[in-house]
């Protein structure tokens, strides 16, 4: 009998067109490269261009019992990239489904397909001069809005999962549903009220394997009257609890309502050093280790010590004036604070440009230009320069301009625990993280993001050289141990990579047995992403 996969590929070619089906081994090998240094056997890559084609993909998969693994843009770096959890799946690459279906300025939302990127939506907003902002993430500008929200990514202003609704979903059983009010054809509030009527099914699909989302409503933000960024630096890790607790108090009083990003020295250096290195090369410094060391020295002189916080503050001019006063009062006894806005940056650049013949002023101008992309996050701008941190951390300095680390030699892995918003607790977790990484021969890049007054998102990354098999093995062992320690301490991750599903999914837990039962109803042939946040 003919191979079921061969029959499925033939059927997919008929329904999608030959160019939208990738099955030769060389192309699949290139598609399966990943910064986490893992491998999977991939059956094929399918590139549907419409919801109808997605339905055809799912129908064929059910007919021949071929599992599917949907990705939006496939840039889940450090968590598995485009790789399935299990071997044998056909990757469904939704990148061609990149239509912006609607943008509503009055009610500040956009309805988009899964291939729409941060940059694409930001360009759409800018070209039409719409008074809107996007909750951007610190990843690159060509990452998917829907894909990131479906894995509960966190932006600079809020969790992306809080701002997604009205999802159109092709279920594994072939049915197409729309969440909220979306299934009522004449509902004028489908993008205004998340829950609809009856059970709120929208919560079923983030971090789940029940179906393929083909469009969703993404919340935007009204453009504020004014914007301000606060950068707060402390000179000792012992002061971290003071900083965290001060930020919690400020957030609880409404002084700022965005996510406060608090990063350690390693995080600051891998983020800013490659940008300073770029400035030094532009100024005529030679490529190489000496200039890279000079970039790090400039950061040390610039006061980027053990920990630094970045906060975006939006509101009226009066509110921003009050925020500056309250932040200074809250942290003035133990930290240094720099406030930035557009006018101040442009004025500083203009003055520094005229006085650039003075070495100190020239160095300050370089520092300002290096910080500018991070400042941009706090005002809703995306950048591609943040990707350089992956290469810098891995020591892959030849690839600083490369757009896709999956096809470099750089490795990166992430741990993402949720930690109570308590200064002492955060310090204890940070110290344990440092010790665990050090035992494996690595230095942890750590960010703790205050999402509200209760919880902090830990973002712990590890850079390594994928060409060094022993180092890659040590990196995986380090992350595995770190995840186990977080679980033991009572701080489970909110998101895991393809190699860590076993850490969070357990047969003896009624929660996961219920998720498995839902899978049987919505995807009886277990077609969609087997093993992803599920027992099956």
Q: How far apart, in whole angstroms, are the C-alpha atoms of residue 457 and residue 448? A: 6
Q: How far is residue 115 CA from its own chain's centroid?
A: 15
What is the pLDDT at residue 180? 97
142-151, 295-304, 333-342: range with lowest mean pLDDT: 295-304
Longest dimension (CA), the chain: 78
273 and 367 inside one domain: yes
Identify the three-state secondary structure at position 524.
coil
Number of alpha carbons in the 13 Å side-chain half-sphere of residue 210: 24
13 and 71 inside one domain: yes
20 and 33 inside one domain: yes
What is the pLDDT at residue 358? 76
pLDDT (average), residues 150-174: 96
Please give the residue range of the domain that contains residue 361.
226-400
Identify the three-state secondary structure at position 423.
helix
Is residue 260 assigned to a domain?
Answer: yes
267 and 392 inside one domain: yes
Q: How far apart, in whole angstroms, are the C-alpha atoms of residue 472 and residue 413? A: 10
Give 241's contacts (C-beta < 8 A, 6+ positions apart).
Answer: 422, 423, 424, 426, 427
What is the pLDDT at residue 1? 46
Q: How far is residue 280 CA from its own chain's centroid?
A: 29
Query: The CATH number of the domain where 234 resides is what?
Result: 3.40.462.10
**Strand ranges (E), 358-475:** 410-415, 418-420, 445-450, 455-465
**Residue that is last in its domain, among 59, 75, 96:** 96
Number of independent structural domains in the chain? 4
256 and 388 inside one domain: yes
Q: How far apart, in whole angstroms, are the C-alpha atoms of residue 90 and residue 388? A: 30
243 and 272 inside one domain: yes
Question: Any bridge partners for residue 260, and if so which?
Answer: 450
Residue 102 contacts residue 111 (beta carbons within 8 Å) = yes
202 and 235 inside one domain: no
Q: Using the structure block, give the residue that is written with the tokens 């942890």.
A: 444
79 and 116 inside one domain: no
Is residue 517 assigned to a domain?
Answer: no
Residue 389, pLDDT above cutoff 70: yes
pLDDT (average), residues 353-372: 80
H, E, C per residue of 257-317: CCCEEEEEHHHHHHHHHHHHHHHHHHCCCCCCHHHHHHHHHHHHHCCCCCEEEEEEEEECH
pLDDT (average), residues 276-303: 92
92 and 125 inside one domain: no
H, E, C per residue of 220-260: CEECCCEEEEEEEEECCHHHHHHHHHHHHHHHHCCCCCCCE
Structure tokens at 75: 């840039």
Residue 515 banded pLDDT, cuts 50, 70, 90: very high
245 and 351 inside one domain: yes
Residue 304, pLDDT above cutoff 90: no
What percent of the chain is predicted at pLDDT more than 70? Answer: 100
- What's this model's pTM, rounded to 2 decimal places? 0.94
Share the mean pLDDT of the chain. 95
pLDDT (average), residues 135-145: 95
Cα–Cα–Cα angle for 265, 158, 480, rounded to 5 degrees: 55
Is residue 533 assigned to a domain?
Answer: no
What is the pLDDT at residue 363? 83
Is residue 536 assigned to a domain?
Answer: no
Query: The CATH number of the domain where 21 resides is what?
Result: 3.30.43.10
Is residue 526 assigned to a domain?
Answer: no
Residue 31 banded pLDDT, cuts 50, 70, 90: confident
Residue 445, pLDDT above cutoff 70: yes
Residue 377, pLDDT above cutoff 50: yes
121 and 217 inside one domain: yes
Residue 263, pLDDT above cutoff 70: yes
217 and 329 inside one domain: no
Residue 397, pLDDT above cutoff 60: yes
CA dihedral sign, ordered 476, 479, 482, 487: negative
Is residue 244 assigned to a domain?
Answer: yes
Is residue 133 assigned to a domain?
Answer: yes
pLDDT (average), residues 502-512: 96
**Residue that is last in its domain, among 400, 419, 437:** 400
Structure tokens at 165: 């609704």
**Residue that is last in its domain, among 400, 434, 459:** 400
What is the pLDDT at residue 354? 75
- pLDDT tens digits, 341-356: 998 888 877 877 777 7
Query: The CATH number of the domain where 136 resides is what?
Result: 3.30.465.10
Is residue 534 assigned to a domain?
Answer: no
Q: How far apart, in whole angstroms, are the C-alpha atoms of residue 508 and residue 449? A: 32
CA dihedral sign, ordered 235, 238, 244, 249: negative
pLDDT (average), residues 39-51: 96
The DSSP element (H or E) to which 212 belongs, if any, is: strand 211-219
């Amino acid at each position: 009998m003919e191979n079921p996969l061969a029959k499925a590929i033939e059927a997919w070619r008929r329904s999608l067109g030959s160019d939208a089906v990738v099955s030769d081994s060389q192309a699949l090998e290139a598609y399966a490269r990943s910064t986490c240094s893992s491998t999977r056997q991939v059956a094929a890559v399918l590139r549907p261009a419409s919801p109808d084609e997605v339905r055809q993909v799912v129908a064929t998969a059910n007919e021949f019992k071929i599992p599917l693994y949907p990705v939006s843009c496939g840039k889940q770096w450090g968590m598995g990239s485009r790789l399935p959890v299990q071997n044998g799946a056909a990757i469904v690459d939704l990148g061609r489904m990149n239509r912006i279906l609607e943008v509503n300025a009055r009610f500040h939302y956009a309805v988009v397909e899964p291939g729409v990127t941060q940059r694409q939506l930001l360009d759409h907003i800018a070209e039409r001069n719409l008074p809107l902002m996007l909750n951007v993430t610190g990843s690159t500008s060509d990452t998917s809005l829907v894909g990131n929200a479906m894995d509960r990514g966190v932006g600079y202003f809020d969790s992306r999962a809080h701002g997604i609704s009205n999802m159109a979903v092709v279920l594994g059983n072939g049915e197409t549903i729309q969440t909220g009010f979306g299934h009522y054809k004449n509902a004028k509030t489908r993008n205004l009220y998340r829950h609809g009527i009856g059970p709120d099914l929208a919560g079923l699909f983030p971090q789940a394997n029940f179906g393929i989302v083909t469009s969703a409503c993404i919340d935007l933000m009204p453009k504020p009257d004014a914007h301000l960024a606060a950068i707060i630096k402390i000179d000792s890790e012992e002061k971290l609890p003071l900083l965290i607790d001060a930020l919690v108090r400020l957030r609880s009083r409404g002084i700022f309502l965005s996510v406060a990003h608090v990063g350690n020295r390693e995080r600051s250096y891998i983020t800013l050093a490659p940008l300073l290195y770029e400035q030094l090369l532009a100024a005529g410094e030679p490529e190489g280790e000496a200039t890279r060391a000079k970039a790090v020295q400039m950061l040390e002189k610039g006061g980027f010590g053990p920990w630094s916080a970045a906060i975006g503050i939006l509101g009226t001019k009066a509110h921003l004036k009050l925020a500056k006063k309250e932040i200074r009062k809250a942290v003035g006894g133990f930290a240094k604070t720099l406030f930035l806005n557009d006018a101040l940056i442009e004025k500083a650049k203009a003055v520094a440009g005229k006085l650039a013949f003075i070495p100190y002023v020239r160095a300050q101008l370089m520092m300002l230009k290096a910080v500018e992309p991070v400042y941009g996050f706090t005002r809703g701008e995306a950048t591609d320069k943040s990707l350089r941190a992956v290469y810098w951390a891995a020591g892959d300095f030849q690839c600083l301009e490369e757009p896709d680390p999956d096809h470099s030699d750089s490795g990166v892995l992430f741990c993402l625990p949720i930690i109570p918003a308590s200064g002492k607790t955060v310090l204890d977790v940070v110290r344990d993280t440092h010790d665990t990484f050090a035992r494996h021969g690595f230095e942890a890049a750590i960010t703790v993001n205050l999402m509200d007054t209760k919880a902090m998102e830990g973002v712990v990354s590890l850079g390594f050289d994928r060409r060094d098999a022993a180092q890659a093995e040590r990196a995986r062992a380090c992350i595995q141990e770190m995840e186990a320690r977080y679980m033991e301490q009572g701080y489970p991750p909110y998101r895991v990579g393809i190699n860590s599903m076993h850490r969070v999914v357990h047969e003896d837990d009624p929660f996961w047995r219920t998720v498995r039962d839902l899978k049987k109803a919505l995807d009886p042939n277990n077609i969609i992403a087997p093993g992803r946040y599920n027992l099956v």
